[in-house]
Amino acid sequence: MIKTIIFDMDGVIVDTEPVHKYAYYRHFDELGIVVSPELFASFTGNSTRNVYQKLSAQFGLTQDVEDLILRKRFIFNDAFDTKEDLELIGGVKALIMDLHKNDVQLILASSASKGTIQRVFKRFELFPYFTDIVSGEDFPKSKPDPAIFLHAASLSKAAKEHCAIIEDSTSGVRAACAADIFCIAYHSENSKLQDLTGARYFIKDFNDVDTALLKQIKLD
């Protein structure tokens, strides 16, 4: 039985991907590099640091990675603060509230920076529902490396065998599988270019899911 759910954030709780994409491509224009849609899709689930490390290697960027990160975050934060139509994924807050009400522990494990997580959680009043927040900023490798999920599971009050991860990206699903934690894939419009192979349960609409349904899932 599921006793702890580890949520990814971008694309699962809130759709910040369009804001991230806007910030990245505006920065790419400033840097004078052309990033294909396929290459950009491969970055889903990666931390900003890992993205710029890969871009630096591929395009021979001379700027310091930390400076690149700061510039992209400045563009993102400016867009985030002015984008009035930024909303949570449909049905996800009701599910989060229902899980919390029914004593399912909730942990966030996101590749996003601590600053971005704080902005999202403050804007949408999510802090009361999660016992722990884990940022990819604290790990040297991004998903599909399993470190972030293994750490999140170590914070669970229940054994890892009673944890489940909700993810929407190739990297995230692979990280969940590498951590040997049951993976639920949120299969949305934004995950069309993502390979969710390895996930063992699929959700297309959070409005169709509640605690009772999730607790029926057999994890073995």
Strand segments (E) across 146-189: 163-167, 182-186
Q: How far apart, in Å, are the Cα atoms of 95 and each of 35, 89, 145, 152, 210?
A: 36, 11, 28, 20, 6
- The token pair at 205 is 């609409």
Span 55-78, pLDDT tens digits? 999 999 999 999 999 999 999 988
> CA–CA separation, 169 vs 110, rounded Å?
12
Residue 171: Cβ within 10 Å count: 22
Span 152-192, pLDDT tens digits? 999 999 999 999 999 999 999 999 999 999 999 998 776 77
**pLDDT of the residue at 65:** 96
Strand-pairing partners, residue 185, are 167, 202
Per residue of the chain (220 residues), give pLDDT as tens.
Answer: 999 999 999 989 998 778 889 999 999 999 999 999 999 989 887 889 999 999 999 999 999 999 999 999 999 988 887 777 678 999 999 999 999 999 999 999 999 889 889 989 998 999 999 999 999 999 999 899 999 999 999 999 999 999 999 999 999 999 999 999 999 999 877 677 789 999 999 999 999 999 999 999 999 8
Size (the chain), residues: 220
Is 171:44 a contact under the CB 8 Å cutoff?
A: yes
**pLDDT of the residue at 190:** 67
Burial class (CB in 10 A: 0-12, 13-18, 19+), 150: middle
Is 177:183 a contact under the CB 8 Å cutoff?
A: yes
Q: What is the pTM of this model?
A: 0.82
Q: Which residues of 1-18 are buried (b: 16+ CB within 10 A; e: fewer)?
A: ebbbbbbbbbbbbbbbee
Question: What count of Cα atoms within 13 Å lies in the side-chain half-sphere of residue 33?
Answer: 20
Question: What count of Cα atoms within 13 Å lies in the side-chain half-sphere of residue 159?
Answer: 3
